[in-house]
């Protein structure tokens, strides 16, 4: 038999390492070897020096070389062959990715998926007046980073284990106090943590409905749940939303006609109008729901952007009903950090148990680390001041932004006293306006997407925190002025 010698890569330069550099020896090896592979100085298939030989040639420990080789394997530069050593890997050819369009074109017309895709394209916030979040610089990144450091340095095992299906108990205890501030009494056993309100709505819909059942929603309302409910086989029917809540006569008619299982409602700072439910209407909604056997699902994700009843009236159905027939949802994606994905459900004890079991069967648990970070931030006491600062910034922008919009000819019938949204009447089909904005690299949110019917609309949702760029105003003046 003839022994076939595998080609060994050329010797690496003796000056490979600089011990006075701020970079670790391991990272210097990784950087230098990777660069030589990228420059084709080390050919694919060539064998790297053995760990012992490399260590001796460059005066480093074998441990340092092992760590460097392992990193190079993980990054696709080397491959490890058992019993043979490390070899330069054949890297697939790469085509430079084209720079993404500012806003992705709508191939088959504007729809909810188009809007959500573009909201997640990581564009500058100033280019997305139709977005549903606050600018990142408005949030408290230092508090999140500090809480994360605190959580991860205390116990190593929390980084490796599952959490608890119902949610981190100290967080649920803290949420009990938070709910008491808005006059909702809920024991920790009545609270289930979720991956945001999106998962909470999905869990509730799956638990309470079957294909063919009807779910009532506000019209207009948060668009993402329409497609989510429809995917479950539910029929989604809109209840016209007025300045102080739903159209009660229409709600009564639809309840009698469709016998819905659920009605999902924003009581406080409704999306997209930022209006709130009046006390009188709240009582009537509860009565109608009781007469027709409807479970009310109260989405209160914008809770912390409301200044409180001492400043502005705010009536929550869950506070009136005390979770007997109302399921309450909220979370921290809008005001703390969307990437933590921490929301929660508060419900009657039996409902909470059922939802916790459903969550366990669907996803086992939610992120224990995220829940501990939120708990830490809430316990430190700085979150309250942070929420006050956000509200103050919005208050400082709202009146001026509304006046500017009205000067351009937009009508704002429901001038909100709080929140981040303005529901503006452009006097024309806002699908067309959104397409023209798209061509200018701007993202608008046309009103058609906020209705289950998806019919053309003159309205659009504008985020006042994303209306501060001159390009947005130039576009609106050019199109509407």
Place of tokens 């979150």: 383
Give the Cα separation of 69 and 323 in Å (integer).
Answer: 58
Per residue in 39-54, pLDDT (tens digit) is 888 888 889 999 999 9
Taking residues 222-232, report their average pLDDT.
92
pLDDT reading at 111 higher than 70: no
Per residue in 80-93, pLDDT (tens digit) is 988 889 999 876 65
Taking residues 299-310, report their average pLDDT.
92
Average per-residue pLDDT for the chain: 88
> What are the helix (H) ranges across 328-429?
349-363, 368-380, 382-407
In this structure, what token pair is assigned to residue 246?
């739903």
Number of H helices, E strands in the chain: 16, 13
CA distances from 175 to 85, 296, 344, 381 (A): 55, 21, 9, 13
Structure confidence at residue 314 (pLDDT)? 87
Give 162: exposed, middle or buried? Use CB within 10 Å, 0-12, 13-18, 19+: exposed
In this structure, what token pair is assigned to residue 235?
């029929």
Percent of the chain with pLDDT over 90: 65
Q: Are strands 214-219 and 235-242 parallel, antiparallel or unpaired?
A: parallel
In this structure, what token pair is assigned to residue 158?
């929390």
- Does residue 216 contact residue 255 with C-beta atoms inside 8 Å? yes
Structure confidence at residue 151 (pLDDT)? 87
Structure confidence at residue 68 (pLDDT)? 92
Structure confidence at residue 120 (pLDDT)? 54
First to last CA, the chain: 86
Categorize the per-residue pLDDT at 106 as very low, low, confident or very high, splitting at 50, 70 and 90.
Answer: low
* pTM reported for the whole predicted model: 0.81
Per residue in 160-169, pLDDT (tens digit) is 778 889 999 9
pLDDT reading at 2 higher than 50: no
pLDDT reading at 427 higher than 70: yes
Which of 51, 78, 49 lies closest to 62, judged by CA? Answer: 51
pLDDT reading at 463 higher than 60: yes
Give the Cα separation of 449 and 440 in Å (integer).
Answer: 20
More confident residue, 147 or 103: 147
DSSP letter assigned to residue 47: B
In this structure, what token pair is assigned to residue 330?
């909220």
Percent of the chain with pLDDT over 70: 87
Taking residues 430-448, report their average pLDDT.
91
Categorize the per-residue pLDDT at 19 as very low, low, confident or very high, splitting at 50, 70 and 90.
Answer: low
Structure confidence at residue 457 (pLDDT)? 94
Structure confidence at residue 479 (pLDDT)? 92
Categorize the per-residue pLDDT at 209 as very low, low, confident or very high, splitting at 50, 70 and 90.
Answer: very high
Other beta carbons within 10 angstroms of residue 411's beta carbon come to: 12
Give the Cα separation of 31 and 315 in Å (integer).
Answer: 59
In this structure, what token pair is assigned to residue 253?
């008619």
- The SS3 call for residue 131 is coil
Structure confidence at residue 5 (pLDDT)? 53
Q: Are strands 295-299 and 262-265 parallel, antiparallel or unpaired?
A: parallel
Place of tokens 């990715």: 97
Least reliable range by pLDDT among 3-12, 59-68, 352-361: 3-12
Give the Cα separation of 359 and 179 in Å (integer).
Answer: 22
Which of 361, 344, 359, 310 lies closest to 182, judged by CA? Answer: 310
pLDDT reading at 321 higher than 80: yes
More confident residue, 420 or 1: 420
Per residue in 175-187, pLDDT (tens digit) is 999 999 999 999 9
Which of 299, 199, 196, 214 lies closest to 254, judged by CA? Answer: 214
Which of 184, 196, 208, 205 lies closest to 324, judged by CA? Answer: 184
Structure confidence at residue 441 (pLDDT)? 86
Give the Cα separation of 427 and 244 in Å (integer).
Answer: 23
Which of 208, 212, 233, 197 lies closest to 348, judged by CA? Answer: 208
Other beta carbons within 10 angstroms of residue 81's beta carbon come to: 10
DSSP letter assigned to residue 333: T
Paired with 219 in beta bridges are: 240
Distance from the Cα of residue 481 to its chain's centroid? 34
More confident residue, 253 or 120: 253
What would you report as the CA-atom Rg of the chain, rounded to the nearest whole angstrom?
A: 28
């Amino acid at each position: 038999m003839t022994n076939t010698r595998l080609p060994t890569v050329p010797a690496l330069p003796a000056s490979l390492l600089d011990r006075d550099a701020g970079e670790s020896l391991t990272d210097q090896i990784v950087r230098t070897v990777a660069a030589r592979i990228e420059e084709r100085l080390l050919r694919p298939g060539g064998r790297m020096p053995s760990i012992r030989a490399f260590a001796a040639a460059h005066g480093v420990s074998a441990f340092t070389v092992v760590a460097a080789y392992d990193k190079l394997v993980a990054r696709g530069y080397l491959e490890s062959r058992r019993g043979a050593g490390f070899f330069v890997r054949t890297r697939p050819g790469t085509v430079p990715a084209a720079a993404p369009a500012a806003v992705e074109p709508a191939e088959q017309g504007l729809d909810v998926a188009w809007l959500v895709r573009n909201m997640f394209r990581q564009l500058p916030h100033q280019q997305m007046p139709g977005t549903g979040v606050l600018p990142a610089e408005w949030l408290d990144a230092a508090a999140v980073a500090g809480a994360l450091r605190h959580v991860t340095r205390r116990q190593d095992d929390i980084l490796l284990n599952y959490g608890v299906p119902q949610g981190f108990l100290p967080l649920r205890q803290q949420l009990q106090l938070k709910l008491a501030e808005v006059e909702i009494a809920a024991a920790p056993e009545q609270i289930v943590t979720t991956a945001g309100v999106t998962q909470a709505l999905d869990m509730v819909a799956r638990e309470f409905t079957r294909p063919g059942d009807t779910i009532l929603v506000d019209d207009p309302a948060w668009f993402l749940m329409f497609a989510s409910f429809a995917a479950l086989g539910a029929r989604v029917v809109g209840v016209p939303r007025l300045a102080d809540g739903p159209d009660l006569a229409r709600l009564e008619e639809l309840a009698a006609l469709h016998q819905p299982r659920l009605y999902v409602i924003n009581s406080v700072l409704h999306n997209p109008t930022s209006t709130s439910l009046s006390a009188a209407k709240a009582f009537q909604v509860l009565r109608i729901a009781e007469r027709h056997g409807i479970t009310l699902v109260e989405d209160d994700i914008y809770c912390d952007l409301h200044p409180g009843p001492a400043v502005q009236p705010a009536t929550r159905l869950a506070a009136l009903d005390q979770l007997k027939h109302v399921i309450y949802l909220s979370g921290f994606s809008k005001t703390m950090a969307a990437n933590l994905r921490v929301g929660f459900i508060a419900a009657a004890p039996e409902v909470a148990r059922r939802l916790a079991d459903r969550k366990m069967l669907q996803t086992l648990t939610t992120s224990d680390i995220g829940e501990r970070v939120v708990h830490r931030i809430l316990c430190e006491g700085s979150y309250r001041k942070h929420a006050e600062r956000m509200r103050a910034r919005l208050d400082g922008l709202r009146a001026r932004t509304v006046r500017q919009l009205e000067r351009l000819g937009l009508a704002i019938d429901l001038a909100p006293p709080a929140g981040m949204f303005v529901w503006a009447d452009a006097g024309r089909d806002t699908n067309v306006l959104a397409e023209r904005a798209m061509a200018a690299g701007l993202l608008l949110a046309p009103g058609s997407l906020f209705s289950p019917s998806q019919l053309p609309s003159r309205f659009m949702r504008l985020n006042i925190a994303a209306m501060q760029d001159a390009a947005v105003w130039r576009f609106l003046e050019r199109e509407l002025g």
